[in-house]
Amino acid sequence: MTETSARVDAGELEKIVVGSRNSKLALVQTNHVMQLLEKNHPDKKFDLVSMSTTGDKILDKALPKIGEKSLFTKELEIALEDRTIHLVVHSLKDLPTTLPDGLVIGAVLEREDPRDALVLRKDIEVDGMDALPANSAIGTSSLRRRAQLLAKHQHLSIENIRGNLNTRLRKLDEDNLYSGIILAMAGLKRMGWESRISKVLPGSEMMYAVGQGALAVECVEEDVETLQILRPLHHKETALLVIAERSFLCSLGGGCSAPVGVESKICNDGKTLELEGGVWSLNGEKTLRKKLTCCLESNVLSEPPKKKAAHSQHAVFCGIVSPPCDTEEYRAAYQLGKDLAQALVKEGASSIMEEARKANEQS
């Protein structure tokens, strides 16, 4: 797990260099992807390169205060552009909806549970946040979570907490500052820490982040061989869901500085995608939520397409590559996100988001 400066040759892919953040969760996720790649391509060798990102290094500020995009991806994307690595494994929620020119998401893996969870300090045993005493501190660095907590639990004190998953759990258990923290279910499950979950938060209490629970593998768009290598890992249903979510966020113009949440699902008929989006003021007093559906062209649970000789005809939706045979379904998901964003804008979402942005800058 060392950094490399040697340029990789896209035409000689017997050895593929995989990039990852240094955090324990990121490495667990990247190793999972590498195991899947090795299973599908036993003739190739996969080497891991890990590095710290801007978001990993700056821990004394809340994420929206740092003032940069791509906080957890920039350094890795530079390595991709320099061709010192072939691909990078990300938590999809860390990837901006617009990627650097020439980079794409070549595969989206099957989604883990996207919901958030309440993790209480070990000495506290209550049935959810409503049962916590007044002014109990709940830790989160997410404006999305903060706004929803304030909207539902006015008796609580919402406090900033930064650091990777291990660090935040240690702060919860040792610092005695927080009664609980809010974390993504997916990370806790991937680390094998389900026992720390005090309560799973339903969408009625906490809508989740765009792309949460999904892993994305980023690569260079013109690197056809790497795209082919990634194809067996791509999960079509998950890709459709997160394209709709990313299109919604992109059309709203939101990012980590805006309290925006989503819920999405493929309905039982397998041909209907349902997307719900929410926008909040920072204090949680203003809330807009709306749900729309779209019809997909064919069954999203069908077998993945066969490998093709080249991807010259692929389309890209919010950074995610669509196999040619699936383009119409991906386009429908993308349009659903745009339609939902436009519907919320008509109801005042833009003014709420602008108010939240200014309030965050002044705080």
Q: What was the pLDDT predicted at 195?
A: 96
Cα distances from 25 to residues 21, 185, 318, in angstroms, run 9, 12, 25
Task: Output DSSP code: residue 192.
Answer: T
Q: What was the pLDDT predicted at 164?
A: 86
Q: What was the pLDDT predicted at 269?
A: 82
Identity at 143, one-letter amino acid code = L
Q: Is the pLDDT of residue 359 over 80?
A: no
Number of Cα atoms under 13 Å in the Cβ half of residue 204? 0
Q: Where are the beta strands (DSSP E) in 168-241?
A: 180-184, 199-200, 215-220
Query: What is the three-class DSSP state of 336?
Result: helix
CA dihedral 187, 188, 193, 198 (to 10 degrees): 170
Q: Is the pLDDT of residue 132 over 70?
A: yes
Decide if 19 contacts 89 (C-beta within 8 A).
yes
Catalytic positions, written as ranges: 94
Cα distances from 275 to residues 162, 243, 312, 349, in angstroms, run 30, 11, 30, 16
Q: Which helix (H) or strand (E) holds 266?
A: strand 260-266
Decide if 203 contacts 114 (C-beta within 8 A).
no
Q: What was the pLDDT predicted at 15?
A: 87
**What angle, 0 to 180 degrees and rounded to 10, lies between the N-to-C axes of helices 236-252 and 327-346?**
30
Mean pLDDT of 36-49: 95
**Tens digits of per-residue pLDDT, 195-242?**
999 999 999 999 999 999 999 999 999 999 999 999 999 999 999 999
Task: Assign 335 a pLDDT band (cuts: 50, 70, 90).
Answer: very high
**Tens digits of per-residue pLDDT, 276-312?**
999 999 999 999 999 999 999 754 454 444 434 344 5
Q: What is the pTM of this model?
A: 0.88
The span from the first CA to the last CA of the chain, in angstroms, equals 39
* DSSP string computed for 270-328: SSEEEEEEEEE-TTS--EEEEEEEEE-SS-TTSPPPPP-S--TT-EEETTEEE-GGGHH
Decide if 88 contacts 103 (C-beta within 8 A).
no
Q: Is the pLDDT of residue 1 over 50?
A: no
Q: What was the pLDDT predicted at 10?
A: 44
Q: What was the pLDDT predicted at 257?
A: 64
Encoded tokens for 27:
């490495």
Q: Which residues pair with residue 91 across a beta bridge? A: 215
User: 162-179 as b/e, with b when 16 or more CB fall inside 10 Å?
Assistant: bebbeebbebbeeeeebb
Q: What was the pLDDT predicted at 69?
A: 46
Q: What was the pLDDT predicted at 3?
A: 40
Contacts of 75 (CB under 8 A, 6+ apart): 51, 52, 53, 54
**Tens digits of per-residue pLDDT, 245-260?**
999 999 998 665 679 9
**Tens digits of per-residue pLDDT, 136-162?**
999 998 999 999 999 999 999 999 998
Burial class (CB in 10 A: 0-12, 13-18, 19+), 335: middle
Task: Assign 82 a pLDDT band (cuts: 50, 70, 90).
Answer: confident
Helices (H) and strands (E) in the chain — how many of each?
Answer: 11, 15
Q: Where are the beta strands (DSSP E) in 208-259?
A: 215-220
Q: What was the pLDDT predicted at 151?
A: 94
Count of Cβ atoms closer than 10 Å to residue 68 Cβ? 11
Decide if 103 contacts 220 (C-beta within 8 A).
yes
Cα distances from 189 to residues 21, 26, 90, 166, in angstroms, run 19, 13, 16, 13
Tell me the C-alpha distance between 128 and 146, whole Å: 16
